[in-house]
Amino acid sequence: MSRQRLMPSAPIEVRAGVATDAGRKREHNEDSYFAKAPVFVVADGMGGYAAGEVASAAVAAEFGLLTGRPSVYASDVRSAFGRAVAAVHSLPAGGGAGAGTTLTGVVVSDSGGVGYWLCFNIGDSRTYRMRGGQLEQISVDHSVVQELVEAGSLTRTQASIDSRRNQVTKAIGAGGDGELDFWFLPAEPGDRMLLCSDGLTGELDDGRIAAILRETTDPQAAAERLVAAAVDAGGRDNVTVVVVDAFAVVEAFADGDADTVPRASRAGGRR
């Protein structure tokens, strides 16, 4: 007698694209990424003299260990984050104000089998969601200018050109340790998640980013077009982009007895 095994199915089926470029001004690319379901992260290293790229690569590698499961939960992300912090602090340049990195990411998660995006962030890399053609920033920058905007001392436009715009208030290592912020968002077929380092948002405003995302259906082509546009616009920093499209999502539906049951639905031009 053979035992029937239920194959674990992903609560969100995704297609992803990724692109990165050192830009026009920097010799090294200190950004790192991991992009394989169910884990997607971008890390923007800092510290110079190769320290930044080692720190960001160490963090991306820790999160890469979360692959091989259909769903990732906040406890998994917290554990990976703890290991990532330890890994950065163990680097030769990892103490004090030495090597460090930002981290922004999204993992495929679920609640009772229903598909959710679990987003997390520390620093000034960003996570956005495009839904119905509208781009929304999910993460909140840990930066000096973000604090000034929230205090009403700067407008968003002023912040985008302020000389302090590259100063982060939290990071992994670099003397700026702090906690991750989390967002747990119900997923819909057609959702498009965008992760990026500030080399993208420092060159292109949200309107331009949204236009490119709307015009480009394929996630790999979208990531490449965004990076190319940032380099064309000046490329003053390393730029890294991950685009994650949900093409099938387990959503909650009410059945005849008003119980909700998880059921898969597929993208049908809802983007």
Interface with Ca ion by CB under 5 A: which residues?
44, 197-198, 237
Residue 232 neighbours by CB under 8 Å, 6+ apart: none
Query: Which CB, 32 or 216, lies closer to Ca ion?
Result: 32
- The least CB distance from residue 53 to Ca ion, in Å, is 11
The dihedral built from the CA positions of residue 208, 214, 217 and 218, taken in this order, carries a sign that is: positive
Instruction: Give the separation between CA 112 and CA 186, rounded to whole angstroms.
Output: 12
The CA distance from 219 to 104, in Å, is 18
Least Å distance, CB 172 to Ca ion, is: 14
Question: Cβ 168 to Ca ion, closest distance in Å?
Answer: 9
**Interatomic CA distance for residues 173 and 56, integer angstroms:** 10
- Burial level of 91, CB count in 10 A (0-12/13-18/19+)? middle
| Residue nearer to Ca ion on the CB measure, 71 or 139 | 139
* For Ca ion, the closer CB: 56 or 71: 56
CB of 199 to Ca ion, least distance (A): 5
Q: Which is nearer to Ca ion, 25 or 156 (CB)?
A: 25
